[in-house]
Amino acid sequence: DAGVIQSPRHEVTEMGQEVTLRCKPISGHDYLFWYRQTMMRGLELLIYFNNNVPIDDSGMPEDRFSAKMPNASFSTLKIQPSEPRDSAVYFCASSSTVLETQYFGPGTRLLVL
């Protein structure tokens, strides 16, 4: 298996623009997680899905953030409008159950100017 795939790997945008991050989980994994990593706060869970349904979105910082999972092999995290404080590395992870090991993608490094 190719592992968790994320795109783009790097994104540079200007404040106010819409940003869309993409993730393809490992085939057969029913859980998908979106994390944000910063130097100050480390890795933080934003939202997770089970069988394409959002289960816990309490970590989503603001209404500017939204996530969807239209099918078992694709998810998006959207920021609209983006702000400089959104600059971070965003990771997607997947697992077969909520208790099993989460496997992480390579991340998207986002810089909002």
- Using CB under 8 A, list all residues that contact other proteins: 4, 33, 42-45, 48, 55-56, 58, 91, 93, 98-99, 101-107, 109
In degrees and rounded to multiples of 5, residue 9 shows phi and psi of -80, -30
Strand order in the sheet with 19-24: 5-7, 19-24, 74-79, 65-71
CB of 55 to other proteins, least distance (A): 6
> How many CA atoms, within 13 angstroms, populate the side-chain half-sphere of residue 7?
3
In degrees and rounded to multiples of 5, residue 38 shows phi and psi of -130, 160
Cβ-based nearer residue to other proteins, 9 or 16: 9
CB of 81 to other proteins, least distance (A): 27
Cβ-based nearer residue to other proteins, 74 or 103: 103
CB of 103 to other proteins, least distance (A): 7
